[in-house]
Structures are given as structure tokens and as C-alpha cells.
Structure 1
Amino acid sequence: MGYSKFPDGTYIQWGFFAGDATTNSNKNATRQITFHSAFAGTAPVSVLITPASANYLNGFCVDNIAVTGFRVILMGALAANTTYASGFRWTAIGRWK
């Protein structure tokens, strides 16, 4: 996990989630990401997800974006109740002041 704070107030944070995920009955799995430190005032204006491997999912969805973190929904697995490698990189851009 890393971050950069710029003098104009721009705050960029990034990280990597490694590990396995077990799908639910809808063939989806979720992961909660917590930021290094909270963004100021409002949630980040942008969150980007990049899969580390193409062996599991057909897509990623980001929701529940807040000043302290966000949730990733890993979608489109081939089977329900199955464990897959599910690493992804994330980047969030917002304000620190």
C-alpha cells in the first residue's frame, strides 16, 4: 500500500489485494478495502480496480465508496461456492485537505 499527497490537496492512494475468494450462490465474492488514511471531507472521486489474474472473474464492481475505504464485488465466476485466486490492484484519488 502506498500514497502520495500533493500540495494542492490531491491525494492518491494505492494497494494490492492478494488472496483467495470463495464465491457465493450468485457466483460473486466481495472484498473490503480500507485506505491508509481517510480522505478529507468526501469520498474519493475515483477508484480504479485492475485484476492481477484473468483466471477468475469476468468483472469487478466498486461500491460503498467512503472516506475510509470501499467494497469490491468480484463478479462472473464459473461456479458458485468455489474458491478462486482473486488478486487485484486498486488506486483511489481524492483530497487530503
Structure 2
Amino acid sequence: MQILAPLNEYAAQSESGRPVSSAPGDISTSMPGNVVDVLVKPGDTVTIGDPLFVIEAMKMETEIKAQIVGKVLAVHIQKSDRVTPGEALIQIEI
């Protein structure tokens, strides 16, 4: 399997301006929703199962947890942001 880089900067961003989730350390969500809380910041070390952020979708809150071990490189969300699937919301260095 080969991963190709986008042809231009526009293709590498979602409509919100966040990067598109494309790397193994990119954390996204499987459903659209609103960010209720962000539980990590750049520089934090996370392990599998650590909570990263909470979203509200369809009147339910869902805690998104780390599926990998690493260091948080970037957080592209803040409380009350609207998020959609495919966006890199948090980036973790593996």
C-alpha cells in the first residue's frame, strides 16, 4: 500500500480548515457532532484508552479515546467546535 500526498494545499484541508485525517496518528470521529470538552494539549503523552476529547451527537456524549501510544503534536479543536468525520482533530506522534 502506498500513501500519496495531496496535489495541493486545498485538498489537504476540510471545509473547516482542519487537516484531513490521513496519517496513522491522526485522530478523527466517525460521526458529526459538537466538541463538549478537550482533554489533552500538545506535549501530553497518551496511552491506549486515554480520553482525548468528548463530542455530543444526537443528544449523546461520546468520549473519544486514544487507540495508540504517543505524544500529542497538535490539537485542532476547541470546546463548542462542530466536527465532521475525516478531519484530523488531534495529531499524535507515534
Give the TM-score normalised by the residue count of structure 2: 0.24
Name the TM-score, length of structure 1 as normaliser: 0.24
Q: Indicate the structure (1 or 2) with the bigger Cα radius of gyration.
A: 1
Q: Which has the higher contact order (CA 8 A, sep 6+)?
A: 1
Name the structure where strand makes up a greater proportion of residues.
1
